[in-house]
């Protein structure tokens, strides 16, 4: 399960799906999201970031839609129906914290704008500072060092 810092109710899973194939809030969603209930849970859909058993890859697909599919043309919904059609159950693990994801861009938003993404990253970094959960640098990602500066201040202090 991945959390979204900009929303307390959004994550990368759905506990329920209605007959038309869209999200349906269930009584289990918030307790699972808030980690009041811990474990491995069968869910209607996991999207954006997931682990797939290699033996399932020949069946799962975003396209074409599974035989007889009449639902919306939506990649994550088609993927969930494809898994269901081929008897592949989706489960959510929430025992451990796996990280954050950004809120998806909606149709009303400007798809070319990076302002919201930038603000979400800043928010995420600030939360990590507040809760003392430093972001780890990955060994295979090269991050150039920036020269130290005072960020426009006359003096910068640090104390423990």
Q: Note the Cα 87 to chain centre separation in Å.
A: 24
As separate numbers, helices (DSSP H) first and strands (DSSP E) second, the chain gives 3, 6
Copy the structure tokens of residue 106: 């909606």
Confidence of residue 93 (pLDDT cuts 50, 70, 90): very high
pLDDT of 110 higher than 60: no
Contacts of 77 (CB under 8 A, 6+ apart): 17, 21, 22, 45, 71
User: pLDDT per residue over 120-142, tens digit each?
Assistant: 778 878 887 888 877 777 788 88
Measured CA to CA, the distance from residue 43 to residue 40 in angstroms comes to 9
Q: What is the pLDDT of residue 20?
A: 83
Confidence of residue 116 (pLDDT cuts 50, 70, 90): confident
Which range is least confidently modeled, 15-19, 54-58, 143-147? Answer: 54-58
Copy the structure tokens of residue 21: 């194939």
Q: How would you label 29-67 residue by residue, b for 16+ Cβ within 10 Å and e otherwise?
A: beebbeeeeeeebebbbbbeeeeeeeeeeeeeeeeebbe
Contacts of 118 (CB under 8 A, 6+ apart): none
pLDDT of 160 higher than 60: no
Confidence of residue 101 (pLDDT cuts 50, 70, 90): confident
């Amino acid at each position: 399960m991945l959390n979204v810092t900009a929303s307390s109710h959004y994550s990368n899973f759905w506990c329920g799906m209605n007959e038309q194939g869209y999200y349906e809030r269930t009584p289990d969603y918030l307790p699972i999201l808030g980690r009041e209930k811990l474990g491995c849970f069968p869910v209607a859909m996991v999207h954006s970031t997931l682990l797939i058993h290699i033996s399932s890859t020949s069946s799962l697909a975003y396209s074409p839609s599974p035989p007889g599919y009449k639902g919306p043309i939506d990649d994550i919904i088609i993927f969930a129906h494809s898994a269901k059609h081929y008897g592949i159950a989706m489960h959510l693990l929430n025992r451990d914290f796996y990280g954050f994801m950004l809120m998806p861009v909606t149709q009303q938003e400007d798809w070319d704008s990076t302002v919201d993404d930038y603000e979400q990253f800043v928010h995420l970094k600030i939360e990590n500072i507040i809760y003392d959960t430093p972001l780890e640098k990955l060994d295979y990602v090269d991050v150039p060092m920036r020269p130290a500066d005072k960020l426009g201040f006359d003096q910068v202090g640090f104390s423990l």
